Amino acid sequence: MVYLFIFIISAILASLNVTLPYIFGNGFLIAVLFLGVPYCYMLFRETNMDRLEKFLIRQRRKPALYLFYVSANRQDEEFERVIDQLLRKYKQPARQALYKVVHGVYHKNISTLKNEIPHIRPIQYRQYYEAYVQIEEGKLEQARASAAQMAKPWMRYALLCEIELKSGNRSEAIALARETLRHCKGLQRYLVHKGYELELPEAVA
């Protein structure tokens, strides 16, 4: 289908007396766009849960993507396998720290989080996980102040949702969960939605 599409465009360009190198150059660019745009849309813009799940299931050979699926669906053995694979593959300190933090969040291991969070980049993710630790330690007002500093709306609402849930304000937490989802797209939407299915099913009903 892609190649047929390129051929049609190339034929149109040829009929307009466009040179052969230009045709091949544009054919390559079209191929990149044709294949890349839907892929990027799935990663960053898609909101349909069925499509996102089918996409992630097909990513078994790409551990950085498959991690979203196994962690969201609490597949413990697969999660450990994928994390181990990523830690062996990526040796950069920031990448190592990020995957160790993901592992720490999965198991609610606060000690691991405190050790690894300072090494995370970019800073917005470091700040997000710092606020998560504050919530887990019951420092809710400090976490609320941290949440207010989040540049990404989904991060801010997600943290505020957890704060209200910890405070016993379930109805407020549900409203904030829905706001979080409203600002989430792509793989982040999948991960957050699956989390709320377990924690706040009313928010995704």
pLDDT per residue rounded down to tens, the chain (205 residues): 433 333 333 333 344 444 444 444 444 444 444 457 888 999 999 999 999 999 999 999 999 999 999 999 999 999 999 999 999 999 999 999 999 999 999 999 999 999 999 999 889 999 999 999 999 999 999 999 999 999 999 999 999 999 999 999 999 999 999 999 999 999 999 999 999 999 999 999 9
The residue with tokens 């097909």 is 58
Between CA 154 and CA 44 the distance in angstroms is 13
Evaluated on CA atoms 144, 203, 53, 136, the torsion sign reads positive
Using alpha carbons only, how large is the chain's radius of gyration in Å?
A: 21
DSSP 11-52: HHHHHTT--HHHHHHHHHHHHHHHHHHHHHHHHHT---HHHH
Per-residue pLDDT at 36: 73
| Structure token pair of residue 48 | 């349909």
Per-residue pLDDT at 38: 87
| Structure token pair of residue 134 | 């504050």
- Ranges of each domain in the chain: 1-44, 142-205
| Structure token pair of residue 29 | 């660019």
What is the CA angle 130-132-134, rounded to 5?
75
Query: Phi and psi (nearest 5°) for 109?
Result: -95, 95
| Structure token pair of residue 90 | 């990526």
DSSP structure class, residue 102: H
Kindly compute the dihedral angle of the four CA atoms of residues 171, 179, 73, 130, in this order, to the nearest 10 degrees.
-90
Contact 40, 15 (CB under 8 A): no
Per-residue pLDDT at 22: 43
Contact 178, 160 (CB under 8 A): no
Per-residue pLDDT at 5: 36
Label residue 142 exposed, middle or buried (CB < 10 Å: 0-12, 13-18, 19+): middle
